[in-house]
Structures are given as structure tokens and as C-alpha cells.
């Protein structure tokens, strides 16, 4: 396999970097939670740029 003409070397990726991959996944989960709480907050709920207007309409109907 080559990438732009360079040879591919058998460097280990998962074996040394798996803790960072676990931490990265946890960070993505935390950011998703932060986004969920942020778009439902009073400050951003009725913003014109909010692309989640559909969920706002559903939540108001209950």
C-alpha cells in the first residue's frame, strides 16, 4: 500500500493509543450532552439560528 508514493510501515496505532480513543469517545458523549442541554436552554431555545425548531415545537405541544 502506498500513499502519494510513500511506503506504508507497520506502526502500531491501537495498542499505544487506545486510552486516548476511549477518552475521546467520552469527550464526544459529554459534548453531545452539553449540546442537548444548550439548545433547550432559555437563552437559545427561541433563537432564529436554532436548527432544532422541530424539537421545540414537539416539546411545547407535550
Q: Which is nearer to other proteins, 33 or 58 (CB)?
A: 33
55 Cβ contact list (under 8 Å, min separation 6): 39, 40
User: CA-to-CA distance for 44 and 41, rounded, in angstroms?
Assistant: 6
Total residues belonging to the chain: 62
Q: What is the DSSP letter of 13?
A: S
Residues in 29-58 that interact with other proteins by CB under 8 A:
31-32, 34-35, 37-39, 41, 44, 49-52
Decide: is 7 part of the binding site for other proteins (CB under 8 A). Answer: yes
Applying CB under 8 A, the residues found at the interface with other proteins are 3-4, 6-9, 11, 13, 17, 24, 27-28, 31-32, 34-35, 37-39, 41, 44, 49-52
Amino acid at each position: 500500500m502506498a500513499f502519494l508514493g510513500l511506503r506504508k510501515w507497520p506502526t502500531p496505532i491501537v495498542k499505544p493509543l487506545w486510552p486516548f480513543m476511549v477518552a475521546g469517545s467520552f469527550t464526544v458523549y459529554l459534548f453531545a450532552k452539553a449540546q442537548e442541554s444548550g439548545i433547550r436552554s432559555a437563552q437559545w431555545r427561541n433563537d432564529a439560528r436554532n436548527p432544532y425548531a422541530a424539537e421545540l415545537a414537539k416539546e411545547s405541544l407535550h
